[in-house]
C-alpha cells in the first residue's frame, strides 16, 4: 500500500516521497542487524584504543586546523524506577547522593575535555540522555549547565540545537519552563504507549493528562521542537490499542515522533525478564501496528525521515533531509553533520576525527580513571580508509536513501564497480526484491526498500562477515 504524506499547509516544504509498505516482504526479510548510529558499530570497538589514542585524535584536529563545531553528549544514567523494556545503560536508585557524587566526576571530565579543545570548542549541539536526565534536581541541572557554559563556548540559542530527554513523570510544567531558561531549546518525551494496560505491563504508568500537560508546558516555554518516543511490539499491545495511542499522539501534535520496534532480548537485559512472553504481540500484529502508524502519521502530515523517525515538513530534520544535510550519530538523526562529537559520562560514546571512543561502562571504573586524572576512555576504534569510505556510503543511504557513485569515486581512490564487486552481487538480490535500483551513477533505495534500509546498509558492512551480533535487534 502506498502511504501518502500530506503537507500541513501551503507554505510548508514539499513533503518527502511516501513509503511503500509490503507486509510479506518485511516479514520475509526482517533479520537481526545494526542500527548504524556509527560505522564501524560500537560492538566492534576494541579495548586496545584508550586515553592516549584519544589525545592523539584531538591533537590531529589541531594539526589539520579549520576545527569544526562541537556536539556535546552527556550521559545521566540514573532512574527512579525500572521500565521493563529498557535496554539503556542505567542505574535505578532512589539514593540521590549517588547523583551528587556522579555530577562531581562528570564536571571534572567536562573540564578536562574543554581544556583539550581550548580555542576550538564552540558547541552547536548539546544532548542530555540517559537514564533520566531530569532525575537531577533543578539546582543540580542549573549547576551543570552553568559549568558547561563556563568551560565551553556555545552558539546562540537561535542557531544551536540544545536538547534533553525527559520522563514526564519526573517534571512539572514549572520545571519545564526552567529547563528552557537553563538553555535547552528542544525536548524529547518518553511516552512509549498511552494504553494503561500496556503501561502496567512494562512498569511505566504515565497518565495521558500528565504527559499532555508537559507537552503544553514545552509549547508555552517556547521550545523549538517537541519530540515523542513511542514503541511498538510491547506486551498487551494490539493494533486496536495502538490506533488509540496514535490518535492521541497526533492530537498532541509533536514536531517529531520516534517509533521504535521493541527488541525483546531478556538474555541480555535483565529487566526484560519481567515481561511475559505470552503477552507479547505476534509478528503479524507488530507489522499491522507498524503499517497503521505509518499510515496515520502520513495522513496527519508527517514526513518519514528514515528508520523509525517522523517529523513535520517544517521541522529542521525534514528540511535538512531535503537539502542533503541530514546526519546520523549515536543520538539518532541530526541536522548538524559537520561536528565532532565529544561525549561525557559513564558509557558515553564520542566521535572525533576518524576515531570513535567509549567511556568506561561502570561507575566504579569511570571514577577510578578520573581519579588518575585521565579521561575515562575504555575502548574505541581508529578508522581505516575503507572504514571511512563505507561510513560515508552508509550515512548517505541512511539519511538520503541514495548515494552518488561518481561522488564517492571522486572522494576516494576507488572504482565503485570493482571495489564493491562482491557487494553488488549481493545487492542484485535486493534489486530483484524491489528494495534498490542500481545504475551507473546512482545507488537508490526504493519506496519499498526504505523500511528495510538497515538490510541494504548491511550489504556494505565488512564486519558482518561472521554474522550479526546477538545484541542486534530485528531490522523491522
Are 412 and 393 contacting, i.e. CB atoms less than 8 angstroms apart?
no
R_g of the chain, CA atoms, integer Å: 22
- Collapsing DSSP to helix, strand or coil, 106 comes out as helix
Give the integer Cα–Cα distance in Å for 312 and 256: 7
Q: Is 371 exposed, middle or buried (0-12, 13-18, 19+ CB in 10 A)?
A: exposed
229 annotated as ligand-binding: yes
* Three cell numbers, residue 394: 552508509
- Angle between helix axes 173-181 and 138-151 (nearest 10 degrees) is 10
- Three-state SS at 212: helix
86 is known to lie in a ligand binding site: yes
Is 85 annotated to bind a ligand? Reply is yes
Annotated binding-site residue? 380? no
Query: Residue 459's Cα: distance from chain center in Å?
Result: 22
Question: Is 192 labelled a binding residue?
Answer: yes
CA angle, 213 as apex, 207 and 218 as ends, to 5°?
135
**Pairing relation of β-strands 340-344 and 332-334?**
unpaired
Q: Report yes or no: 323 and 399 within 8 Å, Cβ to Cβ.
A: no
130 is in an annotated binding site: yes
Omega within 30 of 0 (cis) for the link into 138: no
Binding residue per annotation — 216?
A: no
User: Given the DSSP bridges, would you call strands 122-130 and 91-92 parallel, antiparallel or unpaired?
Assistant: unpaired
Are 199 and 205 contacting, i.e. CB atoms less than 8 angstroms apart?
yes
Give the span between the Cα atoms of 186 and 204, in whole angstroms: 23
**Dist CA 32 CA 467 (whole Å):** 9
Distances (CA, A) of 49 to 34, 72, 341, 364: 22, 21, 17, 20
Q: Is 204 annotated as a binding residue?
A: yes
Of the CA atoms within 13 Å of residue 90, those in its CB half-sphere come to 23
CA 102 vs CA 75, 77, 273, 372, 413: distances in Å: 11, 9, 28, 16, 47
Residue 124 φ then ψ, to 5°: -105, -15
Q: Is 132 annotated as belonging to a binding site?
A: yes
b (16+ CB within 10 A) / e for 432-445: ebebbeeeeeebbb
| 73 in a labelled binding site | yes
Q: What is the C-alpha to C-alpha distance for residues 366 and 374, in angstroms, rounded to an integer? A: 10
Which 8-state DSSP code applies to residue 284?
Answer: H
- CB–CB of 159/202 below 8 Å? no
Residue 263 assigned as binding residue: yes
Binding site feature residues for S-adenosyl-L-methionine: 73, 85-87, 130-132, 165, 192, 204, 229, 263, 349
Binding site feature residues for [4Fe-4S] cluster: 79, 83, 86
Binding site feature residues: 73, 79, 83, 85-87, 130-132, 165, 192, 204, 229, 263, 349
Amino acid at each position: 500500500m502506498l502511504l501518502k504524506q500530506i503537507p500541513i499547509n501551503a507554505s510548508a516544504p514539499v513533503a518527502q516521497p511516501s513509503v511503500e509498505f509490503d507486509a510479506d516482504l518485511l516479514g520475509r526479510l526482517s533479520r537481526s542487524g545494526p542500527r548504524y548510529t556509527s560505522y564501524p558499530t560500537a560492538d566492534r570497538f576494541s579495548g586496545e584504543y584508550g586515553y592516549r589514542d584519544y589525545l592523539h585524535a584531538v591533537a590531529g584536529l589541531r594539526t589539520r586546523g579549520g576545527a569544526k563545531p562541537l556536539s556535546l553528549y552527556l550521559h545521566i544514567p540514573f532512574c527512579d524506577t525500572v521500565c521493563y523494556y529498557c535496554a539503556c545503560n542505567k542505574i535505578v536508585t532512589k539514593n540521590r547522593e549517588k547523583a551528587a557524587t556522579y555530577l562531581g566526576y562528570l564536571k571534572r571530565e567536562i573540564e578536562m575535555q574543554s581544556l583539550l579543545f581550548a580555542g576550538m570548542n564552540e558547541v552547536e549541539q548539546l544532548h542530555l540522555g540517559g537514564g533520566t536526565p531530569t532525575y537531577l534536581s533543578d539546582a543540580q541541572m542549573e549547576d551543570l549547565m552553568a559549568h558547561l557554559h563556563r568551560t565551553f563556548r556555545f552558539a546562540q540559542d537561535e542557531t544551536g540545537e540544545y536538547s534533553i530527554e525527559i520522563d514526564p513523570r519526573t517534571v512539572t510544567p514549572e520545571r519545564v519552563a526552567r529547563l528552557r531558561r537553563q538553555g535547552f531549546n528542544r525536548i524529547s518525551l518518553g511516552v512509549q504507549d498511552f494504553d494503561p494496560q500496556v503501561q502496567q505491563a512494562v512498569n511505566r504508568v504515565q497518565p495521558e493528562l500528565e504527559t499532555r500537560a508537559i507537552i503544553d508546558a514545552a509549547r508555552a516555554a517556547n521550545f523549538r521542537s517537541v519530540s515523542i518516543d513511542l514503541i511498538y511490539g510491547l506486551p498487551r499491545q494490539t493494533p486496536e490499542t495502538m490506533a488509540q495511542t496514535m490518535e492521541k499522539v497526533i492530537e498532541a501534535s509533536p514536531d517529531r515522533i520516534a517509533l521504535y520496534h521493541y527488541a525483546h532480548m531478556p538474555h541480555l537485559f535483565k529487566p526484560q525478564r519481567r515481561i511475559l512472553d505470552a503477552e507479547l504481540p505476534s509478528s503479524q500484529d507488530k507489522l499491522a501496528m507498524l503499517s497503521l502508524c505509518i499510515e496515520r502519521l502520513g495522513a496527519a502530515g508527517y514526513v518519514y525521515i528514515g528508520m523509525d523517525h517522523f517529523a513535520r515538513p517544517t521541522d529542521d530534520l525534514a528540511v535538512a533531509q531535503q537539502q542533503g544535510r541530514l546526519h546520523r550519530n549515536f543520538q539518532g538523526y541530526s541536522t548538524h553533520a559537520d561536528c565532532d562529537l565529544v561525549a561525557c559520562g559513564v558509557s558515553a560514546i564520542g566521535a572525533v576525527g576518524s576515531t570513535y571512543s567509549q567511556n568506561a561502562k561502570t561507575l566504579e571504573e569511570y571514577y577510578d580513571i578520573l581519579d588518575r586524572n585521565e579521561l575515562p576512555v575504555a575502548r574505541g576504534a581508529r578508522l581505516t580508509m575503507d572504514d571511512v569510505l563505507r561510513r560515508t556510503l552508509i550515512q548517505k543511504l541512511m539519511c538520503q536513501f541514495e548515494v552518488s557513485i561518481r561522488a564517492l569515486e571522486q572522494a576516494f581512490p576507488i572504482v565503485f564497480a570493482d571495489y564493491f564487486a562482491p557487494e553488488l552481487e549481493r545487492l542484485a538480490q535486493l534489486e530483484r526484491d524491489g528494495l534498490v535500483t542500481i545504475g551507473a551513477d546512482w545507488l537508490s533505495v526504493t519506496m519499498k526498500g526504505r523500511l528495510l534500509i538497515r538490510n541494504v546498509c548491511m550489504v556494505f558492512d565488512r564486519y558482518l562477515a561472521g554474522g550479526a551480533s546477538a545484541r542486534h535487534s530485528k531490522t523491522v
